[in-house]
Amino acid sequence: MTIVVRRATVDDAEDLARLNFEFNGGEPRPCQDIIASLRSNQELVAVALMLDEVVAFGCAQSYRSFCYPGAYGEITEMYVSEVGRRKGAATALIAFLEQELSYQGVTSVKILTGKTNNPALKTYQASGYITSAETVLLKEVKRA
């Protein structure tokens, strides 16, 4: 089955809302918020389609810091619905996001995922990612 990957458009907002709810649960994201985010152009969002149905999405960001000579990237979100799994959707999304990031001058990309998320780990490793010794620390910041 052929997987087609492209940048998400505002016309994908309903599908993105559905997939994000499957992925993250909680309160469904309103389509108008998704459309506003897509229009802000600050995040690279891609979708994977099978038979013209959106079955997956991936998000990426590029960053620049005065501390480093070039841009670096991060694939921040990746979700493939059950129907799209083990058919190449994630691998195609990764390749698409990497290519788009390279157009922005990115030469290295990181992905964060759970230590026990074995299907994702295998997919990322098959795409050439290696496990680093970096430790991730998180903290909730209260609004002022």
* Predicted pLDDT at 62: 95
pTM above 0.95, yes or no: no
53 pLDDT exceeds 90?
yes
Alpha-carbon distance 78 to 94, whole Å?
A: 9
Per-residue pLDDT tens over the stretch 6-46 = 999 999 999 999 999 999 999 999 999 999 999 998 899 99
CA proximity to 62, closest of 92, 107, 95:
107
47-57 average pLDDT score: 97
3-state secondary structure of 29: coil
* Predicted pLDDT at 1: 73
Go through the domains of the chain in sequence order and give each one's CATH number.
3-126 (3.40.630.30)
